[in-house]
């Protein structure tokens, strides 16, 4: 079993308060076996994590979160940067681009509208070639995650979990439990396609607002 938070942002991406050097301690504290850093638009932004992984002796994968025309897309196993993919392309175009390079494309929080963008919504049902759907995003409400779970069932696709953390306390609030171990980012992409994993964690509205020093999600989900 390999527990990985597949969706994390840090200061390197410009919109998160998480310092790169605090990621591993927090990941260990909440019981993760690995993390995957997914800065916005550019794989290269998270390059400092190569050294951090070595220094801390902790597996750190890197991907990216691409902003497509219709919504956000997590990309694993392809080191794409701004030079490869201009922001705002149609999601299907990017999914095809990722697949041609052996990566895995996973729509993120498909039913959560962004600050400036609409949600991908049911248009996800028309996408071809996505490896999985993010069905448990720790930063969105449970009704949005439930809708994503419904879409995954409709499409016969596996679902991943990730915290979408922009603050250190949120890291690990949702994660993916892989049945098989792997070590490289290409193997991560293959594992995402293989579908042998489940999700753990909670949606944003299912946690106590009080600071939980144990790092565990609230044991009794709250439904305000
Ligand atoms: Zn996003
Ligand atoms: Zn994100």
**Does the pLDDT value for residue 218 go beyond 90?**
no
pTM: predicted TM-score of the whole model, two decimal places: 0.92
Report which of 49, 51, 1, 62 is spatially closest to residue 23, judged by C-alpha positions. Answer: 49
pLDDT category at 221 given cuts 50, 70, 90 is very low
pLDDT category at 210 given cuts 50, 70, 90 is low
Which pLDDT value is given to residue 200? 98
Ligand approaching nearest to the C-alpha of 115: 1
**Does the pLDDT value for residue 116 go beyond 90?**
no
CA of 151 to the centre of ligand 1 (A): 17
Report pLDDT digits (tens) over 48-66. Answer: 999 999 999 999 999 999 9
CA gap 2, 183 in Å, rounded? 11
CATH of 2-206, one of 3.40.50.300, 3.20.20.140, 3.30.420.10, 3.40.50.180: 3.20.20.140
CA of 186 to the centre of ligand 1 (A): 22
Report pLDDT digits (tens) over 19-58. Answer: 999 999 999 999 999 999 999 999 999 999 999 999 999 9
pLDDT category at 118 given cuts 50, 70, 90 is confident
Which sequence spans correspond to the domains of the chain?
2-206
**Does the pLDDT value for residue 214 go beyond 70?**
no
pLDDT category at 215 given cuts 50, 70, 90 is very low
Angstrom distances, CA of residue 195 to CA of 9, 44, 152, 158, 178: 24, 27, 12, 5, 9
CA of 164 to the centre of ligand 2 (A): 5
| CB proximity list for 140: less than 8 A, separation 6 or greater | 109, 111, 112, 164, 203, 204
CA gap 95, 117 in Å, rounded? 19
């Amino acid at each position: 079993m390999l527990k990985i938070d597949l969706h994390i942002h840090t200061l390197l991406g410009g919109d998160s308060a998480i310092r790169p050097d605090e990621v591993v301690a927090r990941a260990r504290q909440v019981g993760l076996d690995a993390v995957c850093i997914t800065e916005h638009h550019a794989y290269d932004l998270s390059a400092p994590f190569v050294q951090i992984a070595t220094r801390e002796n902790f597996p750190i994968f890197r991907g990216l979160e691409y902003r497509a025309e219709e919504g956000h897309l997590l990309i694993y196993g392809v080191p794409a940067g701004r030079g490869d993919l201009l922001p705002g392309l149609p999601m299907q175009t990017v999914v095809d681009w990722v697949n041609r390079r052996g990566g895995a494309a996973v729509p993120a929080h498909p039913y959560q509208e962004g600050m400036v963008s609409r949600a991908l919504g049911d248009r996800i049902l028309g996408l071809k070639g996505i490896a999985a759907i993010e069905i448990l995003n720790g930063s969105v409400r449970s009704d949005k995650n439930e809708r994503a779970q419904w879409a995954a069932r409709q499409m016969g696709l596996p679902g991943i979990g990730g915290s979408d953390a922009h603050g250190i306390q949120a890291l690990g609030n949702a994660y993916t439990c892989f049945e098989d171990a792997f070590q490289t980012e290409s193997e991560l992409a293959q594992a995402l396609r293989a579908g042998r994993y489940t999700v753990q964690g909670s949606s944003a509205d299912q946690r106590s607002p009080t600071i939980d020093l144990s790092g565990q999600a609230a044991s009794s989900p709250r439904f305000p």
